[in-house]
Amino acid sequence: MSYKILASTAAAALDKELMSTGGFSIFQLMELAGLSVAQAVYKCYPPETHPKVLVLAGPGNNGGDGLVAARHLKLFGYNPKVYYPKKSKGELFDGLQTQLKSFGVEFVGDGDEIRLEMQKTDQILDALFGFSFHPPIRAPFNEIVAIMSTTDKPVVSVDIPSGWDVDEGPTGEVENFLPEVLVSLTAPKPCAKLFKGRHFLGGRFVSDELAKKWDISIGKYEGVDQVVELERQT
């Protein structure tokens, strides 16, 4: 499927509209986004071949999407572990952590513990930073992104590969960070045009009316799928 991009300012405005006239809550949007990410992981790296998933969750909504995805991955038959060093505050994020603990999902600590897990895992889910990220990458995330840039483990990034400029793509300290899979949420952002791997669109919550208003393509989802694969860039 071909696609149209959505600038970061427009993406933020569309999110607000989804939660106002669209009638969605942030709880619903995050749940649907995380489910779509988990489905993309399943399609690319099933639990039979890549059972261990290390979920790297950042301090914002992108990290929340990762926490939701971790829960679904556990239910899909994976053994996820979560690295969540800068926890967001609030009922939503507290609840997501409680849910994970109730399903027996392990949280990973800093230092040698996270370094070891990045070596032991079968794949990495990058949910550190979204389209509102502004450089530089600060500790402890700078070391984590540096490891992701050189790892031989497949990396699936949520919405934006962490550290990428939303418009310019991989620059500066992340110029060598090229994940294998990208799951764009709502609509692909400008940097997606520079992504060469498998690319999915997720978040099946944009109506035809909103898609027309914002001039975006929402894709033809099959059956109960929450993701649709997009054309690779050449």
Domain boundaries, the chain: 8-44+53-230
Binding-site sequence positions: 61-65, 126, 130-136, 159, 162
Q: Band of the pLDDT at 27, cuts 50, 70, 90?
A: very high
Q: Are 186 and 6 in contact (CB under 8 A)?
A: yes
- The CATH superfamily assigned to 8-44+53-230 is YjeF N-terminal domain (3.40.50.10260)
Burial class (CB in 10 A: 0-12, 13-18, 19+), 68: buried
Phi and psi at 204, nearest 5°, equal -85, 65
- pTM of the predicted model, to two decimals? 0.96
Q: Which residue has the tokens 């603990």?
A: 101
Closest by Cα among 178, 62, 188 to 130: 62
**pLDDT of 168-188, one tens digit each?**
999 888 999 999 999 999 999
List, for residues 109-166, the tens digit of each pLDDT value: 999 999 999 999 999 999 999 888 888 899 999 999 999 999 999 999 999 999 999 9
CA proximity to 33, closest of 206, 229, 202: 202
Helix (H) or strand (E) holding 52: strand 52-57
DSSP string, 196-207: -SEEEEE-----
C-alpha span between 19 and 112 (Å, rounded) = 40
Mean pLDDT (whole number) for 77-96: 97
List pLDDT tens digits, range 193-208. 999 999 999 989 999 9
Binding residues for K(+): 62, 126, 162
Name the helix (H) or strand (E) containing 82: strand 79-83
Query: Known binding site for (6S)-NADPHX: residues?
Result: 61-65, 130-136, 159
